[in-house]
Amino acid sequence: MEKLVPDLSEERHFENAYNSISQNATRTCEGHAAIVYWCAPLSFCKVAFWPGFVSNMAEKEEFTDIRGKPIKLSCQNYSPLCREFTISSCKLSLVRVMVLTCGVWLLAYAGFYLTQNTAVLSAAIFVTLSGMLLHVHFVKVDHETLLIVGSLGVQLSSAYASGRESTTFIEMSRIKDIVINEAIHMQTIIYYLCILLKDPAEPDGVSSVVPLFQSSKPRLNCLVQVYRSCQEIIGQTR
């Protein structure tokens, strides 16, 4: 059997294309906040890639979120129509926790020194423990997962630092498209991946938008990797 060898010149073409887009993502603009669909520049992403290309690119490249903190993108190809993407954020910083705890306790001791009331110390203990539990259980997300199955739909999962997990499933029949949107926030353009849901009343309309990776907030170069695979699977199921 003849072995197919991928065209490396095509690989370099796509790599240079999304690198140029990533550089444009850092531009800023003035004016009122607005949200627009940003799909036309990514029309090249709908081309089918040779197997393993997306996984290899994701493993070799380093990604950061919109705040510049490092994140990790993992890709698992279970079948041509089933892929899983996991974005892992930085772990909870013990140094930051200790600094915040010391700050609360210094304020508590200052209040106790001025009032000589032990209730101030009890309140500080309650506030510290409650704040830490709420943060790790509802705020701090360790990793977010996007599982797309061409014949079924998309499953969105978030794993919190406390071990709690939340999962949402969207049927493929409800999905109109998966696109990259751009939004203007604080005079800076940010990009995010989202799912457009069909409007039952209007076949060509959009009923709602479901943002993806809301906690990790990856930059454009990371979103393009996920967008490519999603468009390849959606294109094969239609």
Per-residue pLDDT, 16: 53
Q: Is the confidence at residue 200, as pLDDT, over 50? A: yes
Q: Is the confidence at residue 152, as pLDDT, over 60? A: yes
Per-residue pLDDT, 60: 60
- Tell me the pLDDT tens digit for each residue of 5-20: 444 444 454 445 444 4
User: Residues of the chain with pLDDT > 90: what percent?
Assistant: 43
Whole-structure pTM value: 0.70
Per-residue pLDDT, 85: 97
For residue 168, what pLDDT band results from cuts at 50, 70 and 90?
very high
Better-predicted residue by pLDDT, 56 or 236: 236
Per-residue pLDDT, 237: 84
For residue 90, what pLDDT band results from cuts at 50, 70 and 90?
confident
Lowest mean pLDDT among 11-20, 140-149, 188-197: 11-20
* Count of other CB atoms within 10 angstroms of residue 44: 13
Q: What is the DSSP track for the chain?
A: -PPP---HHHHHHHHHHHHHHHHHTT-B--SS--EEE--GGGGGGGSPPPTTHHHHHHHHS-EEBTTS-EEEEEEEEEETTEEEEEEE-PPPPHHHHHHHHHHHHHHHHHHHHHH--THHHHHHHHHHHHHHHHIIIII-EEEEEEEEETTTEEEEEEEETTS-EEEEEEEGGGEEEEEEEEEEETTEEEEEEEEEEEPSS-TTSEEEEEES-TTT-B-HHHHHHHHHHHHHHHHHH-
Q: Is the confidence at residue 158, as pLDDT, over 50? A: yes
Cα–Cα distances in angstroms (integers) from residue 112 to residues 2, 121, 130, in the given order: 80, 7, 20
For residue 226, what pLDDT band results from cuts at 50, 70 and 90?
very high
In degrees rounded to 5, what are phi and psi of residue 54?
-65, -45
C-beta separation of 182 from 173 below 8 A: no
Mean pLDDT of the chain: 79
| Domain ranges across the chain | 28-91+140-237, 94-138
User: Residues of the chain with pLDDT > 70: what percent?
Assistant: 75
* Distance (Å, whole) CA 179 – CA 224: 10
